[in-house]
Structures are given as structure tokens and as C-alpha cells.
Amino acid sequence: MSQSLLGQGGVEIEDPRHSPEVQIEVNQLTKLFRQGERAAVNGISFTLHKGDILALLGPSGCGKTTTLRMIAGFEQPDSGQILLQGQDVTRLSPQARKIGFVFQDYALFPHMTIAQNVAFAMRHLAKRERPAKTRYWLELMGLQGLENRYPNELSGGQQQRVALARTLAAEPDLVLLDEPFSNLDASLRETTRNEMRALFKRSGTTVILVTHDQAEALTFADQVGVMNAGRLEQLDTPQHVYQYPSNAFVARFLGHTNLLYGDADNGLVKTALGDLQIEPGVVGQVRLSLRPEDLHLSPAPTCDAAARVISREFRGHDYFYTLEQDGVQYCVIAPSHHCFDVGSWVNINVLRGGSVLPH
């Protein structure tokens, strides 16, 4: 992000793509489930602007769902603060927060029809306005004709849309999604994800999503927060988090990576794969993360080749190779139009400079 130009002493200028209004601000949120144990959520802070989508990404047990439930008010934080549009809601009960929550299991009321489920959310509207508004939301979700069905008579994708319709019908200031796509099968997941993202963007809804699927986080969100063991390791745009992970955990969690060591000097690092360019100013021993698609393989005669193919995995549009060079293993993703046999000799070329990880 760009720094202040007018010398106003550390004031940050907002990214012009975002509207300046802050929707939610979380400060040092901490939750201990049992005294003396490691905190489930440990000092998490972030700010989200109106209309933005944030994905909290992490392995199971990292505290991402607990964070979401604290924001919704289902769990009480042990310390820290949640500000919704500048107002402190940390001690408010869930029903007073105006935060929508879409549950992993959708939590539709099984004794109510689809229309009743959605109308149940419209406490703020007069009774006579509710039927028309219910129709509006169901049509928006492509659920017309299903008004009088019960939740158990719908498919998983339909249930998911009803859950979303019910949440949006309450016109919340913020929508929280807890692994919303995990109960859908793979073919349905991608289309639903795209539809929902388009819908949120159209209506300018602020969304926080919790997921353990890195592809989902990278495609769905404007901001990705990677969590590990109760801490927020990195929070940035998907591109930045992927390309410049702040540490080895983030690098590994967002996909395969090669970790290299080398001596840096004057913007160059000497590594086993040759001299690589990095940002200037770093000196001494460094650790680099190199994505497998940033490496290129070229065939070479046995005498001057450096690496040998150990295994090969065909993945449709590309190959995933494991190679060995001087006793160290590397992974490389290469397009499927050329194929190297297991045992053959190749050279590894680096296409792009790596990102330096802190020690």
C-alpha cells in the first residue's frame, strides 16, 4: 500500500479501489477455552471495508471458526474488541448485532417451509410486506416454485441458497459464512461460488468467509487471512499472499513450494538453482520460497544435466514432477505438451525470483 505523500506522519492513505468506510474492525481478539491451555484464538486484529470479502484460511483447529463465532456473538472473547461500523458490539448478544450467519450445515428450520424460513428472517418488516419480499429473495436465488417445499425436500445446493436467502432477507450489516461450500459436491461448488460472489459484489455486501480450501479462498475473496494455531499469520490480497508468503507455513499452506537457502548480497542470492533476483537491501543467509510453476525444465544430455526425474504425476493440464539435484528434492509443475520420463536427466531453470521468508 502506498504511504502518505504529504508527510502527515504515518497516516495511511486508503487504497482507491475500496470505499473508505470501515465495516468491521477487530482488535486483539483472544479466546481461551480452558484456563492454562493454549489460546484457541490469539490476538487477532484486522479491518474490513464495506463491500469487501475476507477469507479466513487455515487448517482445522486453527481458530478460524471460533473467530467467526465470536464476531457473530455465539462465543464470548476473553479479551479484545469487535467494532461494527465504529460501534463496539463485543458485549452485545447475537440478536442485537445485525450480523448474518450462514452455517456449514445451513441450519434451515426443518419444521418450516422454504418461504416460512425466509419470512422468519424479516422481523424488521411489517407482516403484510413479508410475502412479496420473500418472493423477491427466492427469485433472486433462483428458488421460485419451491416456496412450499420443506428443507429436506431440496438438494444440497438449493438448501445452501435458501440459507443465504434467509440470511440476506434480514438485511444484515455483515454476512459470515462458515465453510459454506464444503457440503456441496465438486461440480456444484464452483458454480455456486461464482454465483454467490457475483451476488455479494452486486449488492455490496461485506462478507467474512471461513475455509480450509486454499483454492476457494484465493478465488472468492478480496483479502485472504491465513491462520495457524490461533494466530493470523498474514493478511493481504490473494495474489500477494500466494506470491509473497510471509513465512514458511503460509507458503506451504497455499500450495506446493520449494524452500531454498542462500547468501544474499546486493539484490542477488546464490542458491543451488543458480543466482536469483530478490528485493535489494537484504544481506546474509536467507530462505526463499519458489512456487513449482516458477521453475522450468529443459532436456539435457546426461553428461551436463544437473537433475533427475524421480516421479511424475499426470494432472490433465500439467505434470507434477519431483526431481532430485545434489541430494535435494524439488517440485516442478510443467505444461503437459512435453513429457519427461522418470529417470531421465533435465536442467532446472528459474523463471522468476523467489520471495524471501523471515527466519
Partner 1 sequence: MSHPDAQISSTGPLLLRKRPPIFLLVPAIFVAVCMFIPLVYLFVRAGQAQPDQLLELVFRPRNLELLWNTLLLTAGVLMICSFLAFPLAWLVTRTTIAAKGWLTVLAVVPLAVPGYVMAYALLGIGGNLGVLSQLFGIRIANISGYWGAVWALSLYTFPYLFLNLRAALMGLDTSLEESAQSLGYSRWEVLLKVILPHLLPAILAGYLVVGLYVLGDFGAVALMRYEAFSYAIFTQYSGAFDRIYAAWLSIMLLALAGMFLLMEAYVLKRKRLASVGSGVGRAVSPKPLGAWQPLAWLYVAFVFMASIGMPVAMLGYWLFLAPPDISVFWQVPVTFMHSALAAMPAALLAVVLALPLCFLSVRYPSSVTRLLERSAYIGYALPPLTLGLAMVFFALQTAFFFYQTLGLLIIAWTIATLALAMGPIRSALLQMRPSTEEAAYALGYTPAATFWHVVFPRLRRAVLAALALVFLFCMKELPITFLLAPTGYSTLAVTVFSRTTEGLMAEAAPFAAAIVLFSGLSVGMVLNREAQKGAR
110 touches partner 1 (CB under 8 A): yes
171 binds partner 1 (CB under 8 A): no
73 binds partner 1 (CB under 8 A): yes
- 92 touches partner 1 (CB under 8 A): no
Q: Residue 257: which of 314, 315, 330 has the closest Cα?
A: 330
Q: Does 230 bind partner 1 (CB under 8 A)?
A: no
Question: Is residue 133 near partner 1 by the rule CB under 8 A?
Answer: no
Q: Is 35 in the site for partner 1 (CB under 8 A)?
A: yes
Instruction: Decide if residue 13 touches partner 1 (CB under 8 A).
Output: no
Per CB under 8 A, which region of 98-106, 267-275, 307-315, 325-333 contacts partner 1? 98-106
Taking CB under 8 A as the rule, does residue 21 contact partner 1?
no
Q: Which stretch binds partner 1 (CB under 8 A): 28-36, 138-146, 274-282, 320-328?
A: 28-36
136 binds partner 1 (CB under 8 A): no
Question: Closest CB to partner 1 among 33 and 261?
Answer: 33
To the nearest whole angstrom, how small is the minimum distance from the Cβ of residue 150 to partner 1?
12
Candidates 165-173, 199-207, 211-219, 296-304; binding stretch for partner 1 (CB under 8 A) = 165-173
Rounded-to-integer distance, Cα 269 and Cα 91, Å: 51
Q: What residues have CB less than 8 Å from 240, skipping those under 6 apart?
A: none
Identity of residue 273: L
> Does residue 42 bind partner 1 (CB under 8 A)?
no
Stretch touching partner 1 by CB under 8 A, among 108-116, 154-162, 181-189, 307-315: 108-116
From candidates 18, 85, 94, 268, binder to partner 1 by CB under 8 A: 94
Q: Would you state the cell numbers that stand for residue 231, as one nine-digit string?
A: 494466530
Judged by beta carbon, residue 64 or residue 291, the one nearer partner 1 is 64
CB of 246 vs partner 1, minimal distance in Å: 21
Q: How far apart are CA 76 and CA 72, in angstroms?
A: 10
Which spans of this chain sit near partner 1 (rule: CB under 8 A)?
27-28, 30, 32-35, 72-74, 76-81, 88, 90-91, 93-101, 103-105, 107-111, 120-121, 123-124, 166-167, 170, 172
